[in-house]
Amino acid sequence: MLYDITVPQFTKMLHNLKLILDKAEVFSADKKFEVDVLLNDRLAPNMFNLVRQVQIACDTAKLCASRLSGKDAPVNDDSEKTLADIKSRIQQTIGYLETFSAKDFEGAETKHISQPRWEGKYLTGKEYVIEHALPNLYFHITTTYAILRHNGVEVGKKDYLGEMPYKK
Amino acid sequence: MLYDITVPQFTKMLHNLKLILDKAEVFSADKKFEVDVLLNDRLAPNMFNLVRQVQIACDTAKLCASRLSGKDAPVNDDSEKTLADIKSRIQQTIGYLETFSAKDFEGAETKHISQPRWEGKYLTGKEYVIEHALPNLYFHITTTYAILRHNGVEVGKKDYLGEMPYKK
């Protein structure tokens, strides 16, 4: 189940994020300003700007899949500056997620997950997904959305949630 | 597993939300302004204000537990106005979540979940949790956080994520 609640949904959310950034691009063209203004904006002076929010969302998805499966993650130097750069970073992350299947996550629930800043402490894979990776991914995507919404970009919750697999 | 990824984590996040609102209260007292200014603020003129963000976060958690289990949910008239009101709404929601156990969610994964605005269409319980309830809950809590952060309230990602069950 850890695969089901991460990889396909992370992929969907990153796809939605890309479409939201497309709306930002259209908005900046309509209003005749450089889209970089939005990319460098933030909601408070001591908060990460939009580019960094997108980078962290991508890292959250990438590292979650990597840590749970034990597979190496691609290295990113976070040098993205333009809209094309961050869209390509998102696409690269989606491409990485597509290399996984449920089989890669066998035993992941009880796996010990750690990272340098946890100073030797660990979470189980299940705790890490539920209490860390998921809330973090949504935090950084929602914050990106909030920065754009605050600037007048016409995005709505439907853009954030994406298509629902409704059945009749 | 649907229980594990919803009820305990929703409870934790609502608890974190209450602590974040406490920080907003301290901030308004320090700066000598009415905390209602924050409660009525929003990031864009055609966006819900903070009070409504909290109400929707509570509803998302409440309705998710109710729909997956088939148990009645308490009715709320969304009349909250003050900080005490919305904190009490959060506490009531936490109290409702505490009435559930994993047993209430048996068979929930394949259950057909619907709501009036879906016009007769449905999602499976599993789809509903992963693609609707979870992203919605995090969206409205992060937006509440963003409104406060934008106003200078000293909250950080740790306040949003809450304590981690680190082990040595």
Out of A9, A13, A149, closest to residue B43 by CB: A149
pLDDT category of residue A9 using cuts at 50, 70 and 90: very high
CB contact under 8 A, A132 and B164: yes
Give residue B41's pLDDT. 98
Report the pLDDT averaged over residues A116-129: 96
As a whole number, mean pLDDT of residues B137-160 equals: 98
Q: Determine contact: B139 vs chain A, CB below 8 A.
A: yes
**Nearest to residue B51, comparing CAs of B92, B82, B88, B73?**
B82
CA distance B52 to B47: 10
Q: In a 10 Å sphere around its CB, with 0-12 CB exposed, 13-18 middle and 19+ buried, how is residue B109 labelled?
A: middle
Contact, B69 vs B77, CB < 8 A?
no
Is the pLDDT at A1 greater than 90? The verdict is no
- Write the secondary structure of A28-62 as one string of H (helix), E (strand) and C (coil): HHHCCCCCHHHHCCCCCCCCCCHHHHHHHHHHHHH
- pLDDT tier for residue A42 given thresholds of 50, 70 and 90: very high
| Interface contact A76, partner B, CB < 8 A | no
pTM, 2 dp? 0.98
Write out chain A residues lying below 8 Å of B136, CB-based.
Answer: 157, 161
Chain B residues within an 8 Å CB radius of A9: 130-131, 135
**What are the E-state strand segments in chain B?**
112-113, 123-124
- Mean pLDDT score of chain B, rounded to an integer? 97
CA atoms within a 13 Å half-sphere pointing along the CA-CB vector of A136: 20
ipTM value, please give it.
Answer: 0.97
Q: Which of A4, A138, A167 sits opposite B135 (nearest CB)?
A: A138
Q: Distance (Å) from the C-alpha of residue A76 to the closest C-alpha of chain B? A: 22
Given a cut of 90, whether residue B110 has pLDDT beyond it is yes
Structure tokens at B131: 């693609």
- The minimal CB distance from A122 to the residues B136, B157, B166 is found for B166
A13 in contact with chain B, both atoms CB, cutoff 8 A: yes
The per-residue pLDDT for range B29-53, each reduced to its tens digit, is: 999 999 999 999 999 999 999 999 9
The interface residues of chain A toward chain B in range 17-46, judged by CB-CB distance below 8 A, are 43-44
User: Does pLDDT of B1 surpass 90?
Assistant: no
Which residue is closest to B135 within chain A, CA to CA?
A138
For residues B124-152, average pLDDT:
98
H-helix or E-strand containing A113?
strand A112-113
Q: Is the pLDDT of residue A85 over 90?
A: yes
B122 touches chain A (CB under 8 A): yes
Mean pLDDT of A100-111: 97
Closest-CA residue to B9 (of B52, B60, B75)? B60
B7-34 residue pLDDT tens = 999 999 999 999 999 999 999 999 999 9
Inter-chain CB proximity B43 and A1 less than 8 Å = no
Q: Does B63 touch chain A (CB under 8 A)?
A: no
The verdict on a CB contact (< 8 Å) between B131 and A164 is: yes
Residue contacts between A and B (CB atoms, under 8 Å): 110
Which one of A123, A146, A157 has the shortest CB-CB distance to B166?
A123
Confidence at B122, pLDDT banded by 50, 70, 90: very high
Does residue A161 have a pLDDT over 90?
A: yes
